[in-house]
Amino acid sequence: MLITLERSGGFAGISKVIEVDTAKLPQKQSEELSILLETANFFDLPAYFFANSNQCDGFQYTLIVKDKNKQNTVTVSESKIPDNLKPLMEWITCNGEIS
């Protein structure tokens, strides 16, 4: 499974991309990630979660997960990250590789 998390926007407008390839992870980490994806119900999430405010310096995140026979892309404003998605995004941010 290949996971990409891109953070864009913010005050400086600098993008940051973090990638995780589960084939390169130890089995325990790969299992943790699978549980987080399942808990977030990631493959059933809608494509967009946007804030209604005009927050011009907030971050926007795009999370792409490609598995064997399924794929989903979710784009979310910083202030609208669903609670069930936060642990997954935190895990990727702490354990992924910046590209």
Where in the chain are the domains? Answer: 2-98
Long-range contacts, 53-56 (Cβ 8 Å, 24+): 53/79, 55/79
Question: Can you give the pLDDT at residue 55?
Answer: 62
Question: Can you give the pLDDT at residue 57?
Answer: 73
Q: CA 34 to CA 37: how far, in whole Å?
A: 5
Domain 2-98, CATH class in plain words:
alpha beta
Site of tokens 């795009």: 62
Question: Can you give the pLDDT at residue 78?
Answer: 87
Distances (CA, A) of 76 to 8, 59, 70, 81, 82: 11, 9, 20, 6, 9
Split the chain (99 residues) into runs of 10 and give each run's mean pLDDT.
Answer: 90 84 95 96 90 70 94 92 94 87
